[in-house]
Each structure stands twice: as structure tokens, then as C-alpha cells.
Amino acid sequence: GRMPAIMTLPLAPQGSDFRRLVWYLLCQIPYGQTTTYGDLAKQIEERTGKAMSAQAIGGAVGHNPISIIIPCHRVLGAHGRATGYAGGIDKKIALLHLEGVAVKA
């Protein structure tokens, strides 16, 4: 099995409350698992009571200032497609493959 984390990094990314909430949710996605922009929008709506679009989530994810530590590569588009990664889709797919996730471009 996977080794448990032996330390945690204190993070303080600078952004709006909305962006920080999205980044917090990104940190909750376990290693080797994924979610979608739409699912994150539903989680935000459940927490805030405000309807949210997948596009708004994508904007916040795209402004993630520390993209390996806050794992935005684990967020997929509709139908499990690898979309929208600032480092390039090829790198997003490679990171997911390292985690054992089969994903398509």
C-alpha cells in the first residue's frame, strides 16, 4: 500500500475566499483519485448555497499558485477527459499515470 504522509506542509495561497475554497477542495482529492469540475461545483454549492458553474471552478483551478502541491491535475472534464492544465495536458496525463489513473486527452 501507499505510505502515509509523514509531514504536512502549511499552505497559505493568496486568493479570494472562493478560490481558496476551491483550492482547499483540491487538497481533499486523494492520491490516485480524480474528480470533475462539475463535481467541485456541486461541492461548492453544498457548502455556500450559491449555484456555481464548472467554468467558474475551472477559473479558480487555473489560478492555483502551487499546482503540484495543490493537486489540480486530479480534476478532469466531463466524461473523464484531461482538460485545462497550465503545465500542458501531456504533463497532467503523465502525473495521473504516475498515480495509476488511466485518463484520456
Q: Is position 72 annotated as part of the catalytic site? A: yes
Residues in the chain: 105
Do the bridges between strand 35-36 and strand 75-76 make them parallel or antiparallel, or are there none, so unpaired?
parallel
498515480: which residue's cell? 99
Q: Which of 70, 72, 82, 95 is catalytic?
A: 72
Cell of 52: 456555481
Residues annotated catalytic, as ranges:
72
